Amino acid sequence: MMTNDYKYIIFHKPYGVLSQFTQESPKHQTLKDYINVPDVYPVGRLDWDSEGLLLLTNDGRLQHRLSHPRFGHERTYWVQVERIPDVDAITRLQTGVEIQDYRTRPAKVSLLPEDPPVGDRHPPIRFRKNVPTAWLEMTLTEGKNRQVRRMTAAVGFPTLRLIRVSIANLRLDGLALGEWRDLTPSEVKLLNHLPVKSKKA
């Protein structure tokens, strides 16, 4: 709990959990199954089949700030893809690809030299004995619908698993799957002072 009755929390969302509190189908769990804090709402979203860091708050001003394209704060993902991307594919992801009549902004993309420190997913990804997989680290400054999955598919390397590990200055470090915590005052202060992105960026 912060001053002015504003609440700011981050949650390590598991696979198969909807980024909302209302249940539309018994097929999926919702945030209500994990978070017992009233009147907070997600800033942005993670698809039900994605995992990782989700920020929730009742601070409408901060929600607007983080949702507005002109702020363009960074979001970093670990992305497990089918097969091993070559230099050409990574360069295309870095410079921008066409997805649904939209060209993505330049992004930071690198092939991780080893698997990141993540636990098993339940259910596990589809496994094909003769098809290797690789992990990418991708940092974007925009959040179109299913953007990461569409980007990797566009260059020929479908996403198998997607984990958001950071939003601006917030990181998933040390937060177990399905757990949440309050932000520290310094974390909230940094979020409220994110720079405005230039129109050319």
Please list the active-site residues: 47
Q: Phi and psi at residue 177, in whole multiples of 5°?
A: -55, 130
Tell me the three state secondary structure of residue 180: strand
Element (H, E) at 57: strand 51-57
Residues 6 or more apart whose CB falls under 8 angstroms from that of 114 comprise none
Structure letter (DSSP) for residue 15: T
Contacts 24+ apart (CB under 8 A), 107-115: 107/138, 107/139, 107/140, 107/141, 107/151, 108/137, 108/138, 108/139, 109/136, 109/137, 109/138, 109/139, 110/136, 110/137, 111/84, 111/85, 111/135, 111/136, 112/78, 112/136, 112/137
3 state SS of 87: helix
Tokens 């920020």 found at: 55
